[in-house]
Amino acid sequence: MEGKKVVITGLGALTPIGNNVADYWQGLKDGQSGADLIKSFDATNFRCKFACELKGFDPLEHFDRKAARKMDPFTQYAMVAADEAIEDSGIKSGNIPLEKIGVIWGSGVGGLLTFQNQVLDYGDNGRDNPNYKFNPFFIPKMIIDIAPGHISIKHGFRGPNFSVVSACASSTNAILDAYYYIKLGKADAIVAGGSEAAVTISGVGGFGDMRALSTRNDDPKTASRPFDLDREGFVLGEGAGAIIVESEESALKRGAKIYAEILGGGLSADAHHLTAPHPDGLGANLVMQNALNEAGIQPEEVDYINVHGTSTPLGDVSEVKAISQVFGDHTYKLNISSTKSMTGHLLGAAGAIETISCIMAIQQSVIPPTINHFTDDPEFDPNINFTFNKAQEKSVDIALSNTFGFGGHNASVIIKKY
């Protein structure tokens, strides 16, 4: 795609293994598991009793009590990650007109806790009460587009502002939308990313009873085990990731530090099933082919793939089939890893934090590992380097990040050393 060159000038993260980018990246390099028994509600009667929750996050360290009450946790997480990225980038230094700075944000389910609590309260207290009143903040707290709304209100950004919903591909779609808008000259800089706060009664109950979650309740820390023979479901995570996507022209003009360049991305649909991937990886194959074509590079130029790799029996197999189809013999020279083995699956926020892991891999020449590998699965070629259990040093010039969502939504982004 012709147009402006697009770079990344700021990063922000709030994850189950670190509440800022530095701690998150250290957790990835160390192979730290963020999974534990659920603390935020009593999960005794649930099929899955554990998740990757945030650790030590107190909204009152970031917001006053009145402001915090007006935000669902998914918006609080968005604000914290965005604030870190905005400060890191320096885009508020006055060198970019505020009408040329936008916010594009992704989430799979948005204000799930707000929705759940209001409906439960109505069932308990409102069903037979003609004077019952819904919380006036119920709708503004719940809707997904409220997160970029809050970010823009706080910082005065008056450029393009909207949300993207494509299940677990949401924040990758947000990053790609930011890339396209900047290429087209619609903005100079965009805060892009995603947040999720689905570790709730309804989230854990819903995903659990559709048999999507691991039920390794006796050993939660090793439950997320992508590509392992004994994988049996994903681990739900929560948090947010934000990146500042900016035109190279704008970044150079204001003397910003540049982390990496976005070369392009791909989109596709499985057109197959509501929740299961295509067994032959057709959608995954197409999205990576589309990304390579848009980036104008050959498969042999990619050094690292941060895979979707959720630790489900079907999903992991179909993704590796697709990688083998697209990359051929170069598959054996790639490093592949699933950082969901450490963070769990942040649903709509997964793409943002995993793009950050690709950027840091490029910056520091380190491939984060796929932890919790115990038993080889004969479905996978033993010569593929899944970066099992320990980070590996490797020079990374180009990295690709895959995210695939329920409904067959696929998105890939390609990041290059600047």
Annotated catalytic sites, by residue? 168, 308, 345
Contact 189, 21 (CB under 8 A): no
**CA–CA dist 273, 43 (Å, integer):** 30
| SS3 of 57-110 | CCHHHCCCHHHHHCCCHHHHHHHHHHHHHHHHHCCCCCCCCHHHEEEEEECCCC
Compute the distance between CA of residue 379 and CA of residue 321 in angstroms, rounded to an integer.
Answer: 10
Q: Where are the alpha helices (DSSP H) in 184-245?
A: 201-209
Number of CB atoms found within 10 A of residue 375's CB:
9
* Nearest partner of 151 among 15, 251, 12, judged by Cα: 12
| DSSP labels, 324-366 | HHHHGGGGGGSEEE-THHHH-B-GGGHHHHHHHHHHHHHHHTE
d(CA 179, CA 413) in angstroms, rounded, equals: 10
**What residues have CB less than 8 Å from 237, skipping those under 6 apart?**
15, 16, 34, 51, 52, 53, 196, 199, 340, 343, 344, 345, 346, 347, 350
Torsion angle in degrees (nearest 10) through CA of 262, 238, 24, 60: 110
Backbone angles phi, psi at 46, to 5 degrees: -95, 150
